[in-house]
Amino acid sequence: MHVTKRQYRALKALNLDLFHPETLIPPAPATLHSRIREQAGQRMEAVSVSIEPSRAELPTEAELSHLFDRYNWMFFDGKLPKPEIEYSARMRTAGSYIPSQRIIRIGRKYHEVFPEEIGDTLKHEMIHIRHLNHDRAFKAEAARIGASIQARSHPLLTKPPRYVYICWNCGREYPRQRRLRMASCGYCSSGSQFDPRYKLRLKKDKKKTWPATRIS
């Protein structure tokens, strides 16, 4: 099929494929929904450069709010209710969603280690607005929008144990963040019931500068 220069310019203006003219389909008519999505994409395009997850400096909370709007239109048709988005300097996990307060918290410490994952974390927490648990529906949504299920681990994100318990029978140690009251060694005890013969004893208490006294 011979295409004249005039026809070529006309087809190029429509951004159509000149190699398959028989399959040319005119663009779909604009609707209010498509116009809103188009405008949202144009508004976020300038912002997306400044919130690129791969940079070392983390985006501001205002930039995260814009990124939420962008993901909302891209993946959820703009139907997610918008929560507050804030950083947490205390949490060592990637993020969390608190439905009772309608807040998405982003872990600053985690993303100082993995700054490239901040967009992925936001998408993960956005799914939690609809699906609170990591059930089958959550995993299906994560696969659909390309979000991770679990965050990564790193030594800098691990708290040192406050307490260390030991089984004086086998010598196994049990580091814990909280004190144990009635706990026995899982290896020496038979079944899952507490066995006083193998009760765990406190070996180390971070709050004290001296080791705990061994109880015979």
Residue spans per domain, the chain: 32-156, 159-216
User: Is the full-model pTM beyond 0.85?
Assistant: no
The CATH number, out of the four listed (1.20.120.1200, 3.30.2010.10, 3.40.50.620, 3.40.1360.10), of the domain defined by the range 32-156: 3.30.2010.10
| Per-residue pLDDT tens digits for 128-166 | 999 999 999 999 999 999 999 887 766 666 677 788 888
> Which DSSP string do the residues of the chain spell out, in sequence order?
----HHHHHHHHHTT--TT-GGG--PPPPP-HHHHHHHHHHHHHHHHHHHT-TTSSSPPPHHHHHHHHHHHHHHHHTT-SPP-EEEEESS--SSEEEETTTTEEEEEHHHHHH-GGGHHHHHHHHHHHTT--S-SHHHHHHHHHHT--SS----GGGPPPPSEEEE-TTT--EEEESS--SS-B-TTTSSTTS--GGGB-EEEEETT-SSPPPP--
| Per-residue pLDDT tens digits for 45-66 | 544 434 444 445 899 999 999 9
